[in-house]
Amino acid sequence: MAIFEGAGVAIITPFKPNGDVNYEKMAELVEEQIAGGTDAIIVCGTTGESSTMTHEEDNDLIRFVCQQVNHRVPVIAGTGSNCTREAVKKSKDAEEAGADGLLLVTPYYNKATQNGLIKHFTEIAEAVSIPILLYHIPGRTGVTMKPETIVKLCREVPNIVGVKEASGNFSAIAEILHLGGEDVDVYSGNDDQIVPLLSLGGKGVISVLSNIAPRQTHDICENYFKGNVEKARQMQLEALPLINALFCEVNPIPVKAALNLMGKEAGPLRLPLTEMEPENQARLKKAMEDYGIL
């Protein structure tokens, strides 16, 4: 059984003006997501700025979110690292903190071979008992996982169950689903490709858009699953201008700007990320107005 089906939010991490994690605002965001129909909460991922958070901050935040959610929807914790030992520690701590699943990014910078990737993910998986999603995003990591590698891991390692696919390579994604069949749960990592990936047999999306439009993102998936394919297609296309604006600068710069425009007090970014350029913020504001969420 899949960890979740539908729209999971890759939730931002709100910071106070001094850069500390704002737990009060995080609780509010979690509640708004659940009220909006979000099917899972993915914490400490790329959108959550985990790359500039310490292991202690990650672990405290994962524990906090798990307690706040209290089993109402699955909580998936980002615990990947380019150091296998560090990823093992982070993953064990997240399991102990109450996470329902893990999201493991391919190890960046080292540029492991396919055999190295298999050994890396297998060692992490053997250290925990909760289900794991691989996270394939070669544009950020510089590492491409072959479809055969993903399928092998999902077939041979019991608790590796699927992949968040953010490569944008639909030929490779189709190959994963062709080779893997029911053994690989595939989630879109790109909000502009939800319906196309669902049409190939995907389980849903791990979404940035859901931070500001949880109900709409959930409904894209729900309509598709219920057979309302034309409605899902229309909703996907209607969201494209906003999705494009959310990625006109590197994620999560625009989505935090969007939340701040909505009065959600997401707070600042941590360096080296910087505030959105004025012309891009104007574009984002217009897209939000046109979409009806501002």
Which amino acid, one-letter code, is at 68? Answer: Q
Q: pTM above 0.95?
A: yes
Q: Is 164 exposed, middle or buried (0-12, 13-18, 19+ CB in 10 A)?
A: buried
Q: What is the band of 170 on the pLDDT scale with cuts at 50, 70, 90?
A: very high
Q: What is the band of 144 on the pLDDT scale with cuts at 50, 70, 90?
A: very high
- The 10s digit of each residue's pLDDT in 123-132 is 999 999 999 9
Instruction: Write down the architecture of domain 6-228 according to CATH.
Output: Alpha-Beta Barrel (3.20)
Q: What is the band of 235 on the pLDDT scale with cuts at 50, 70, 90?
A: very high
H/E run at residue 77: strand 75-78
Q: What is the band of 248 on the pLDDT scale with cuts at 50, 70, 90?
A: very high
> Angle formed by the axes of helices 114-126 and 84-97, to 10°?
30
Q: Which of 25, 90, 152, 164 is catalytic?
A: 164
Chain-centroid distance of CA 52 in Å reads 17
Model pLDDT, residue 141: 93
- The 10s digit of each residue's pLDDT in 175-212 is 999 999 999 999 999 999 999 999 999 999 999 999 99
What is the mean predicted confidence (pLDDT) over 136-163? Answer: 97
Q: Which residues of 96-108 are buried (b: 16+ CB within 10 A; e: fewer)?
A: ebbbbbbbbbbbb
- The 10s digit of each residue's pLDDT in 59-105 is 999 999 999 999 999 999 999 999 999 999 999 999 999 999 999 99
Is residue 164 flagged as an active site residue? yes
Q: Is the pLDDT of residue 15 over 90?
A: yes
Model pLDDT, residue 98: 98
Model pLDDT, residue 256: 98
Q: Which of 25, 135, 224, 256 is catalytic?
A: 135
Q: Is the pLDDT of residue 1 over 90?
A: no
Domain layout of the chain by residue ranges: 6-228
Q: Is the pLDDT of residue 35 over 90?
A: yes
